[in-house]
Structure 1
Amino acid sequence: MDTKALEPPVSLAELQALAARIARQDQGAPRLSARAQTVLKALLASPERVGLSTISQLAEQHAVNPSSLTRLSRALGFSGFKTFQALFREDLSGATYYSTRAERLLDFGETPTLRPGGAQRALWEQEMANLSAAVEGLDDAMLERAAAGLATARRVQVIGLRASFGAAHYLAYYLDYLRDDVHLIAGEAGVGVERALTLDSDDLVVGIAFRPETRTSVDYCRLAVEQGARLVALTNHPRSQLAGLTDCRLVAPAEGPFFFNPMSSLFLLVELLLSRVAVRLGEHAVASIRRREALIARLGVE
C-alpha cells in the first residue's frame, strides 16, 4: 500500500478508529501483519505509557526492535515515531481523556464481561496485578522516608482533587487521628493556592494526582516546593508532572479494562503510609487516637 497517500490520524480517537478498521480489514485501511496489529493494540491499551516512554523503552516492553515501531508509525501515515507519539502526549492533558479511553475499550471488546459460570473476574484480576505491581515496585526506603516526613513535619497538607480527592480525604482524615496540624486542601471549600504561601522547610505536602493530572493540584505542589516545603507525590506514573517536582514519589500502577483510573493500588499505598506513621509515632499515636475517640463519644458523633 502507498502509505504516503494515507492521511495520518489527528487525534488518539482517530487512531483508535483506524486500528479498528485495520482489525476488520476494511477496504482502504492499511494492511498490517498480525504482530504489528498486536503491538498497536497493546500501545493503544496503555496510552499513558506510550506518551511518557522513549521508543527504546517501548520497544523493550513489547519485545520488538525500535525500528519496528518506526515502521508501524509510517504504515499508519505518520512521518515517524515522534509524530505518532505526539497524539498520545496530547491526549494525556486533553479534555477527552476518559471518553477516548472508554471508546478504545469498547472498540476492541476489552470491557469486563461475564465469563461462563457467572464470575466477573477481568477487573479483579487486573486490580490484583496492580496491587502486586505496587508492592513489587515499592522502594521501601522511599516509603520510610515519606512516613518519617509525615510523622515529623510541623504541618502536613494533603491535596488531591477531582478523582484523587477520595484518597486525599482518606489519608488526611486518618493521619489527623495520629498527629496534629493535618490539613486537607479542598478546592470546593474555596481554598486556593494562597494556603501554600505560609509553607516553609518545616512543612510537608502530600500531592495525589493520577493522569490526566489536575492542574490545580500540580500548581499547588509546585508552589509549595518553591516555598521550601517537602513534597511526597502519589501518582500512577513515575514520569508524571507531579513526580517531576520531587525525589520522594510513590507509584500506584493503574492499568486495566476500566473506563476510569483504577484506585486500589493508590489506597494500598495510603494504608502503608498510615501504618508506617503509626508505628513511628508509637504511644503518641495511641494517645492521639484515644483523645479523638473520647471527643467523639462526648459529642455523641456516630
Structure 2
Amino acid sequence: MTATAGFEMPPTSIAALQALAIAARRGEAQAPKLTPGALKLLEQLLGAPEPAATLSISGLAERNGVNASSLTRLAHALELSGFKALQALFRADAASGAFYSTRAERLLDLSHSAASEARGPQQQQLWDEESINLARTLEHLSEKSLAQAVQALIEARRIHVVGQRACFAGAHYLAYYLGYLRGDVRLVDSLGGTNLELARELGEGDLVVGIAYRPETRVSVDYCQQAQEQGARLLALTNHPASRLAEMAWLTLVAQAQGPFFFNPMGSLFVTLETLLACMAHEMGADAVASIRRREAMIARWQVE
C-alpha cells in the first residue's frame, strides 16, 4: 500500500475512494490515472452506493450503461484485485451505520469537484433521476405481481401496515386509504412500544404490508418476522430486492430509489402505492364506491374537516 498526496492506494474505505475520485477530477498530479469514462463510472458508483453494494457485476454494469469489464478495469486502475474488492468497500460502508451523513458528504464533494456542464444543475438532476426511478419501477412491476398484491389486499381477513421512520409516511398513506376501501386495516405506529404484541393478533388469512428502505429499521423487520411466525403473509415494498424484508416476503414490489439526494427518494414508492389503491378500487368496482361513500358519510356526520 502506498500513500500519495493525502490519499492511499489501493483505497481501503469509501472515504479514501471518494478522495481519489476528487483528486482525479481535479487533475492532481499524484491522482490515479483514470480515463474520462472510468472517472465518470467511479462518480456514478459513489453517487449511488446502494446498487454498488448489492448488485452483481452484470447488474451494476447494466445499471450504469457499461460493460462488466469496465468495472473490472476500474478496480485494477485503483490497484484493487478486482470487482469484488471494489464492491467490498461499498458493502463495508453500507454496514457502518453512518448512511445519510456519509452520502450527503459524498454527494456534496462530488458535485463541487465535477465539471458543472457535465453534471447540470442539482435540481435538474433530482427531477431527471426521479423520472428514471419511476420508469424503472414501472418496468419491473409485472402485471402478475401487481394482480397478486391487489388480490391479497382485497381478500385478506385483516391487514397490518408497518413502516417506520421515513417509511412511516408511506405506511400511513396506504393504511389510511385502504380504510376507505375495506375494513380491518391497522397502521402499526409503535405507539407505546407494543408492536410485537400487535403482531400476535395475526394468523392465517391475514396480511402484513411491510415498507422498509435501506437502512431498514429493526422494528419493522422484527414485526414482519413475528407476523409470519403467527401464520400471516408478508407483502414487502422496498427499494432493493436484496433487502431483509424482500428475503422474508411472500411477494415483493420494488420501488426504485436512486439519485443525487441525501436521503431515500420516495416518489416511486408513493406512485406504487397509488397504483395499488387504484387497481384495488377498480377490481372491487361498486363495492369500492359503496365503501368510500360509507366513509364519507361518517366524516360528514361528525363534521370532520
Please give the TM-score of this superposition, normalised by the length of structure 2.
Answer: 0.87
C-alpha displacement of 1:131: 1.7
- Output the amino acid matched with 2:147: E
Q: Percent identity?
A: 54
Aligned pair partner of 1:253 in 252, 256, 259: 256
Q: Give the number of aligned pairs.
A: 296
C-alpha displacement of 1:179: 0.7
Q: Deviations over 1:138-197 (max 9, x none)?
A: 111101110111111010000111011101000000101111110111124423222222
- CA distance change for structure 1 residues 94 and 188 in 2, over 3 Å: closer, same or farther? farther
Aligned pair partner of 1:132 in 117, 130, 135: 135
Aligned counterparts, 1:181-220, within 5 A: 181-220=184-223
Asked if the contact 1:3–1:74 (Cα under 8 Å) also holds between the matched residues in 2, the reply is no
In the alignment, which residue of structure 1 is the partner of 2:25? Answer: 23
- Higher deviation after alignment, 43-52 or 173-182: 43-52
Whole-angstrom distance in 2 between the partners of 1:142 and 1:283: 24
- Superposition RMSD on alpha carbons, in Å? 2.6
Asked if the contact 1:3–1:77 (Cα under 8 Å) also holds between the matched residues in 2, the reply is no
2:272 is the counterpart of 1:269: yes
2:131 is the counterpart of 1:106: no
Whole-angstrom distance in 1 between the partners of 2:156 and 2:68: 46
Whole-angstrom distance in 1 between the partners of 2:11 and 2:193: 41
C-alpha displacement of 1:74: 3.8
Which SS does the other structure have where 1:250 is aligned?
strand
In the alignment, which residue of structure 2 is the partner of 1:90? Answer: 92
In the alignment, which residue of structure 1 is the partner of 2:228? Answer: 225
Which SS does the other structure have where 2:161 is aligned?
strand
Whole-angstrom distance in 1 between the partners of 2:128 and 2:38: 26
Q: Deviations over 1:17-52 (max 9, x none)?
A: 221122223343322222221221122122111111
Q: Deviations over 1:112-153 (max 9, x none)?
A: x9xxxx995332222222222222221111011101111110
C-alpha displacement of 1:15: 1.8
- CA distance change for structure 1 residues 130 and 68 in 2, over 3 Å: closer, same or farther? closer
Aligned pair partner of 1:80 in 73, 79, 82: 82
Please give the TM-score of this superposition, normalised by the length of structure 1.
Answer: 0.88
- Output the amino acid matched with 2:145: M
In the alignment, which residue of structure 2 is the partner of 1:284? Answer: 287
- CA distance change for structure 1 residues 103 and 195 in 2, over 3 Å: closer, same or farther? same
- Output the amino acid matched with 1:159: V
Aligned pair partner of 1:147 in 146, 150, 158: 150
Whole-angstrom distance in 2 between the partners of 1:226 and 1:119: 45
Q: Deviations over 1:70-107 (max 9, x none)?
A: 34224324343323212212333432111121122211
Which SS does the other structure have where 2:244 is aligned?
coil
Asked if the contact 1:134–1:253 (Cα under 8 Å) also holds between the matched residues in 2, the reply is yes
Structure 1: segments with no counterpart, 5+ residues: none
Whole-angstrom distance in 2 between the partners of 1:93 and 1:172: 31
Asked if the contact 2:2–2:10 (Cα under 8 Å) also holds between the matched residues in 1, the reply is no
- CA distance change for structure 1 residues 184 and 247 in 2, over 3 Å: closer, same or farther? same
Whole-angstrom distance in 2 between the partners of 1:231 and 1:101: 30
Which SS does the other structure have where 1:211 is aligned?
coil
Asked if the contact 2:258–2:265 (Cα under 8 Å) also holds between the matched residues in 1, the reply is yes
Whole-angstrom distance in 1 between the partners of 2:137 and 2:73: 33
Structure 2: segments with no counterpart, 5+ residues: none
